[in-house]
Amino acid sequence: MFDYNHALILAFMLFTLGTAGVLLRRSALVVFMSIELMLNAVNLVLVVFSRLRGDLDGQVICFFIMAVAAAEAAVGLAIIIAFFKRKKHVDLDRASLLRS
Amino acid sequence: METVLFYLFAALTLASGLMVITRRNPVASALYLVLCFFGLAGIYVLMDAYFLAAIQIAVYAGAIMVLFLFVIMLLRLEPTELPSFMNSWSKRLYVAVTLVLGGVFLGLDLMRTVNTGADSALTGEAGAIADRLFNRYLLPFEVTALLLLVAIVGAVVMARRESPKPTASMEEV
């Protein structure tokens, strides 16, 4: 059996990768994918602790996170499409529609 | 055997996760993200979370990533240039904090191990999850259904063209 600590470290590294993507990339689409990466890291932590505690609640929460991620992706991508239609790019550094 | 498989899937997940944030072409990023999800699904299977592994493939790699690819190809983006790494103080600070935190976590991990007490009997197959979902978590489940409905309506409202004429939109369909 593998060490669960290593699964937790994997989740930490995945979350770090996701955060790095959010902070460093400028394309809105890649930023969204990085957010998905972070959500998956959290899911992994939940599954590991569900396993450690011998309790299925963590996996149920994981299920809810997936549902919310689906909703978030749908709405976020709709926002990106609306933004692209107006500005013809999805560069977050040049996004200033809400700034006066 | 399980250990070998775990490190295999972990390496796959980390490598493809790294590729996600370093590719210039968003399509390549999305496909690497699908690979990353497959690796995570493998790890879920190793931890006996079978139902989660199944919906990880079906919902994440299937539905959400297809939606991403659909939007990427719809927008017809040119590949963006990668950021000049660590060109501002905030980013340097971020990397420094991450390294320090990583060191702290690794140190904590070397010092003690998590108590693997009540293990083994737990398998997350669909029946067990459904039992929780439809008894104890029935209300959150229904709220999730409502949330998805709201998301659908919101996505349709935001993504349609501005000030549509009622007849024109019907003709396009």
Q: How far apart are CA A60 and CA B113, in angstroms?
A: 25
Backbone angles phi, psi at B74, to 5 degrees: -65, -40
- CB–CB of B29 and A63 under 8 A? no
For B57-114, how does the pLDDT look when each residue is reduced to its tens digit (9 = 90+)? 999 888 899 999 988 888 877 666 666 655 667 777 777 777 787 777 777 766 665 5
A2 interface with B at CB cutoff 8 Å: yes
Residue extents of the structural domains in chain A: 28-90
Smallest Cα distance from A68 to chain B, Å:
7
Q: What pTM, to 2 d.p., does this model score?
A: 0.83
Which CATH number is A28-90 given? 1.10.287.3510
Backbone angles phi, psi at B42, to 5 degrees: -60, -40
Number of neighbours of residue B28 by Cβ within 10 angstroms: 14
B135 interface with A at CB cutoff 8 Å: no
Smallest Cα distance from A45 to chain B, Å:
11
Structure ipTM:
0.91
Q: What is the pLDDT of residue B16?
A: 93
pLDDT over threshold 70, residue B156 = yes
- CB–CB of B113 and A5 under 8 A? yes
pLDDT over threshold 90, residue B147 = yes
- B138-151 as b/e: b if 16+ CB within 10 A: eebbeebeebeeeb
Smallest Cα distance from A42 to chain B, Å:
12
Tell me the torsion sign for CA atoms A16, A22, A23, A27.
positive
For B18-55, how does the pLDDT look when each residue is reduced to its tens digit (9 = 90+)? 999 888 888 899 999 999 999 999 999 998 888 999 99
For A46-79, how does the pLDDT look when each residue is reduced to its tens digit (9 = 90+)? 999 988 888 888 899 999 999 999 999 999 999 8
Smallest Cα distance from A100 to chain B, Å:
21
Q: What is the pLDDT of residue A100?
A: 63
Residue that wins the pLDDT comparison between B46 and B118: B46
pLDDT over threshold 60, residue B160 = yes
A55 interface with B at CB cutoff 8 Å: yes
A69 interface with B at CB cutoff 8 Å: yes
Q: What is the pLDDT of residue A31?
A: 92
Q: How far apart are CA B69 and CA B80, in angstroms?
A: 16
Nearest to A29 among B26, B147, B151 (CB): B26
pLDDT over threshold 90, residue A37 = yes
Residues B145-173 have a mean pLDDT of 74
- CB–CB of A5 and B114 under 8 A? yes
State the average pLDDT for chain B: 81
State the average pLDDT for chain A: 88
pLDDT over threshold 60, residue B169 = no
Q: How far apart are CA A42 and CA B52, in angstroms?
A: 13
Chain B, residues 35-74, CB within 8 A of chain A, namely: 36-37, 40, 43-44, 46-49, 51-52, 55-56, 59-60, 63-64, 67-68, 71-72, 74
